[in-house]
Amino acid sequence: MRQPATTGCGSGLKVVPSWDGWYNEAMLRSSLMIALVTRLAGADATGRIDVEVDSTIETEVGTLIGFACDHPKLLDGKMLTKKIEGGEVNVLVVKGVLAGKTQCRVGTDPMRPFRLFDVVINDKPRSK
């Protein structure tokens, strides 16, 4: 066991208690709870968007602001705010440009929540 730290000089030494006990245990418990809550909050954060080339699809994203995609050449995307009954909601609008797959993050502020979307752009069905 570690010896308590001492301060002062001469015969008037004061014993300073170490922080090994309750403080470290409380910090560990707090850190684990924060990690658990953060993990549970993001558990359903991945969605899937399927769209055809030259087609457009809208996905409501609540209060999230901004988006970024891994392969932006595959799609034409933008964020809009729509009025709904009781308020407003942000919408991710995706138009397919080239067939392929990419991942988009909606909610670009690192201090706020976000959602990930796997975006799959399919070729137009061929007419017979």
Asked which of 12-16, 30-34, 83-87, 107-111 is least confident by mean pLDDT, the reply is 12-16
CATH class in words for 46-122: mainly beta
Mean per-residue pLDDT of the chain:
81
At residue 10, does pLDDT exceed 60? no
Q: Percent of the chain, pLDDT > 70?
A: 71
Q: Can you say whether the dihedral through the CA atoms of 123, 125, 127, 128 is positive or negative?
A: positive
Rg (CA), the chain: 26
Rounded Cα distance between 107 and 113, Å, is 6
CB neighbours of 13 closer than 8 A, spacing ≥ 6?
A: 6, 7
pLDDT band at 12 (very low <50, low <70, confident <90, very high): low
pLDDT band at 22 (very low <50, low <70, confident <90, very high): low
pLDDT band at 43 (very low <50, low <70, confident <90, very high): very low
pTM: predicted TM-score of the whole model, two decimal places: 0.62
Residue 65 confidence (pLDDT): 92
Q: What are the φ and ψ backbone dihedral angles of 30, each rounded to 5 degrees?
A: -60, -45
Which one has a higher pLDDT value, 83 or 4?
A: 83
| Residue extents of the structural domains in the chain | 5-41, 46-122
